[in-house]
Amino acid sequence: MYPNLRVLSRVLPATLGCLGIAACSTPAMRTNASRAAIEVASIQHPHEETAQWWFRSGAAAAAANASSRAQAKNVIVFVGDGMSIATISAARILDGQRKGGSGEENRLAFETFPAGALIRTYETDQQTPDSAGTMTAIMSGIKTRAGVIGIDQAATRGDCASGRGHEVVTALELAAQAGLSTGVVTTTRITHATPAATYGHLPERDWEYDMAIPQRERDAGCVDFARQLVEFPFGGGINVALGGGRTGFMPAEQRDPEYPGLPGKRLDGRDLLAEWQQKDGAAYVWNAQQLAAIDPARTRHLLGLFEPEHMNYENERAQDPAGEPSLAEMTRMALSVLRKNPDGYFLMVEGGRIDHGHHAGNAYRALNETIEFARAVQVANEMTAADDTLILVTADHSHTLTFAGYPARGNPILGKVRGSSGEGLPSGDLARDATGLPYATLAYANGPGYAGASDRQPEGAKQYPHEATAFSAARKGRPNLAEVDTEHPDHEQEATMPLGAETHGGDDVAAFARGPGSAAVRGSMEQNALFHVIAQSNDAIRTQLCKLGACNADGVPVDAPEMGKARQARFKRRADARVKKGSRAEPWWRGKVDSDPTFSRLAGGSTR
Ligand SMILES: [Zn+2]
């Protein structure tokens, strides 16, 4: 059935025998243009798609784009959650108009990058995807189903036992195991789908803390994402984790330091914040002032959790009681900690609340979050060099925001259309629909901005926050926007179909890149191929994959690595680290392997 078995049989015996041994030689990657193309089986879609097929086809696509010709020491992946192409266009104009220009000619930081591609986001089971499956594809090179994180499509969502043996190995895990420093930064809960897909494995994205996991699935051995983050078993552990989601790390008996009415969400009694602080060179902070006081030179493991749930939207951040850092400030600190490692680092930064602004039907928040996301990219661009750092900027999926009508050049992007009602000459008058009512440039195909009355707000234009659970059909038709300030930060754009939350979109998203390997980001690409651009452009990650038997004779990772082997390699590595005292990749659990019950549980490895 699989035509590449011949290639497999040539590579596997040679590599299986030297799993995890530091001295084990791995094939150097041939970078000449004559390298043979990677064969990919032609299959029936979707029922013959497997994790292995996705991995190989992603590898073939990246190799065909010659991603291996340049090598990056550091890799930074930026994900604008829900940052559709319409979102980028509108945010660039809003940003440009705030700077006093007409807006259309403005460029967000990543729009200056030399490489770009269109990315297909569908999952193995959904035409329009979610963040769990899409981020798994970006991080592992394997497309999977909606709702599962770090698990391939063979598992059933929400069924702990079905995920066992189907964990996929992520770029962050490979980087950590190879001795790179690693970091995760987000504005959502650090256990939310996008960040969790860098370090975690569960067949249900909602299992962020143990209280959220049904007893039956806990009994089956599934461990929540908060614990997986703190117990991250590869290399020296995650070095930087900044975001929200604090109470998922606190026992139910504890109260939140910023909002004392809120209890922790852990039933197992574990204080994961205290456990983090046991790590070597560890620091834990929960407000902006504490983060600013961190000395990156002395910090090896930095955990910052700035809200009990998601962090505030950027436009509400100033009202936070204890003070919260911006995404750009978190990115700056993360890079300051990570760049101490002479071997390099892997960092993922998510602008996580672009998506939430859209779901709320509120373009202002989605665009404002996108502008802040671009500022974070700007920080990374300035703090790194294009000759040794690959920066990849993309989105996990689209949304239903539309940018339409014929507004005149420089018309306020959140405003009503002033221009023409067709393709005629622009005028300064409000454009009108066929019933004579004005309309705005931005609208949503669905969501809470529908004109009919909801169970929370009367008929007419809607305001954030809304949280509607039911709607009636509009009796008076469209709202008269002549009486509405559509540029107000809380205005909800009109939605054609009423839904409590606006949905994701299934259209392609964009990718932008600069640095070694970026030239491979071009054309129309499947989302899982982005992982392979990273793996083929970073020698540490690629070599680690080769050690796991994933590489072909040309040194290109073409076979999906098995998590079981990755973990074996880890344990072997631990023994190596013990022998070679003071070697650069000393794991945090060194010396407590036999005594620490946490580690014994990990070593037992029932599910993780
Ligand atoms: Zn979403």
Q: Is residue 22 a part of any domain in this protein? A: no
Using the mean position of ligand 1's atoms as its centre, give its distance from the Cα of residue 357 in Å: 9
Residue 230 is predicted with a pLDDT of 98
C-alpha of residue 585 to centroid of ligand 1, in Å: 37
Instruction: Give the closest residue to 509 by CA, choosing from 81, 75, 57.
Output: 81
Distance 79 CA to ligand 1 centre (A): 13
- Residue 422's pLDDT is 65
Is 311 among the domain residues? yes
Overall average pLDDT of the 206-232 stretch? 98
Does some domain include residue 454?
Answer: no
Q: Is residue 202 part of a domain?
A: yes
pLDDT at 572 over 60: no
For residue 129, is pLDDT > 90?
yes
Going from the Cα of 528 to the center of ligand 1, the distance in angstroms, rounded, reads 19
Read off the pTM: 0.90
- pLDDT over 70, % of the chain: 87
Residue 492: pLDDT over 60 = yes
Encoded amino acid at 205, one letter: R
Position 423 confidence tier, pLDDT thresholds 50, 70, 90: low
Question: What is the residue-wise DSSP string for 288-329?
Answer: HHHHHT--GGG-SEEEEE-SSSSPPPGGGGGG-SS----HHH
359 CA distance to ligand 1 middle (Å): 7
Number of domains in the chain: 1
Residue 183 has pLDDT above 90, yes or no: yes
Lowest mean pLDDT among 279-293, 300-314, 497-511, 579-593: 579-593
pLDDT for 313 equals 98
The answer on pLDDT for 57 being more than 90 is yes
- Nearest residue to 249 via CA among 185, 303, 184: 303
SS3 helix, strand, coil % of the chain, rounded to 5? 35, 15, 50
CA–centroid distance for 342 within its chain: 25
Q: What is the pLDDT of residues 313-371, one digit of tens each?
A: 999 999 999 999 999 999 999 999 999 999 999 999 999 999 999 999 999 999 999 99
- Report residue 596's pLDDT band, with 50, 70 and 90 as the boundaries: very low
Q: Which amino acid is at 8?
A: L
Q: Is residue 48 part of a domain?
A: no
Q: How many angstroms is it from 125 CA to the middle of ligand 1? A: 17
Determine the Cα–Cα distance for residues 282 and 270; give it in Å rounded to an integer.
18
* Residue 568 pLDDT exceeds 90: no
The Cα–Cα gap between 608 and 604 comes to 9
Is it the case that residue 592 has pLDDT exceeding 70?
no
* Distance in Å, CA 130 to ligand 1 centroid: 6
Distance 139 CA to ligand 1 centre (A): 18
How does the average pLDDT of the chain come out, rounded?
89
Tens of pLDDT, residue by residue over 154-172, are 999 999 999 999 999 999 9
The answer as to whether 237 is a domain residue is yes
pLDDT > 80? residue 128: yes
Report the CATH number at residue 342.
Answer: 3.40.720.10
42 is a domain residue: no
Return the H-helix or E-strand segment holding 402: strand 401-403
Encoded tokens for 27: 């094939």
Catalytic residue set: 131
Q: Do the Cβ atoms of 413 and 88 come closer than 8 Å?
A: no
Task: Please report the pLDDT score of residue 532 as a whole number.
Answer: 98
Q: Which pLDDT score is estimated for 29?
A: 73
Distance from C-alpha of 520 to C-alpha of 511, rounded to nearest angstrom: 11
Task: Enumerate residues with CB within 5 Å of ligand 1 (an ion).
Answer: 355
Using 50, 70 and 90 to split pLDDT, how confident is the model at 28? confident
How far, in Å, is the centroid of ligand 1 from the Cα of 131? 7
Residue 172: domain span = 61-371+378-400+505-534
Top pLDDT among 405 and 586 is at: 405
Report how far ligand 1's centroid is from the alpha carbon of 501 (Å). Answer: 9
Q: Tell me whether residue 38 is in a domain.
A: no
Residue 589 DSSP SS3 = coil
Q: Which residue has the tokens 């009919």?
A: 452
Task: Give me the mean pLDDT over the 179-197 stretch.
Answer: 98
Which is more confidently placed, 81 or 423? 81
